[in-house]
A = this chain, B = another copy of it.
Amino acid sequence: MVQQVSCNDCSLSSICLPMAVSSSQLGELEEIMERGRPLKKGEHLYRAGDNFVAVHAVRTGAVKTYALAEDGTEQVTGFYLPGEILGMEGINEECHHSSAKALDGATVCEIPFSRLEDLSQRIPTLQHHILSLMSKELCADRAMHLLLGKKSADDRLAAFLLALSARHQRRGLSASRFRLPMSRYDIANYLGLAVETVSRIFTRFQQQGILEVEGREVVIRDRDALSANGRIQVQSA
């Protein structure tokens, strides 16, 4: 039932793992990964506590990762779009520390980690790419730390939308018009805000002509104004 599409035929190959290996070595990578595993909306890719055996590349759809606080409340820790790799937080301890769940439907490629490690041992560019990927996640986490620690609700939502926009563009899609794969609840949760706050800001951004919003469809009409959130914290005196 799993579609055995070659990485070569995948539109994401240029931004996904294959970008790190030469075409002659691609076969080795393809050999270890299981491609095209389909997930229904809400289905788990893995749960916190599961044995860590593989990292995953999103092929279609979107996936969110989340952790549960001691009191059972959920904290969304990330959203993953096509071409992006998730699950690397499990390497240490060999079990997952968060859960991953499909938003809408999704398909993912599964890459057994121990075999990926072996392969990295033989392919320096692959080793470097994996370190690089993790480093990029660290950078994103630091940016998130700043966002949550210092920025207003407006700034957080603006930054979130701009980041999504950039990730769409990376895939060759429109940077100014896209569909949010996640609910307002997930956005709010991710940004450390209440749903109501997020909803109000969407409304206000629309009134200000910064966005056009219709449900989960978003059009960025004034990118500069959106970027201004967060930049002009204090008008230089």
Contact = CB atoms under 8 A, between A and B. Distances in A.
Interface of A: 67, 69-71, 73, 75, 77, 88-93, 97-98, 117, 120-121, 124, 127-128, 130-139, 141-146, 148-151, 189-192, 230-234
Q: Which 6 A-B pairs have the closest CB atoms?
A: A149-B192, A141-B141, A91-B135, A148-B148, A92-B135, A71-B233
**Identical chains bound together, number:** 2
Contact of A138 (B121, B127, B138, B192): B138
Contacts of A130: 131
Contacts of A136: 92
By secondary structure, the A interface counts as helix
- Most B C-beta atoms less than 10 A away, residue of A88, A120, A141, A143: A141
A40 B69 CA distance: 39
Contacts of A133: 92
Given A70-B230, A117-B124, A75 B135 contact: no
A69 B148 CA distance: 12
A32 to B, nearest CB: 16
Nearest to A113: B131
Given A124-B117, A124-B121, A139-B97, A91 B146 contact: no
B231 A145 contact: no
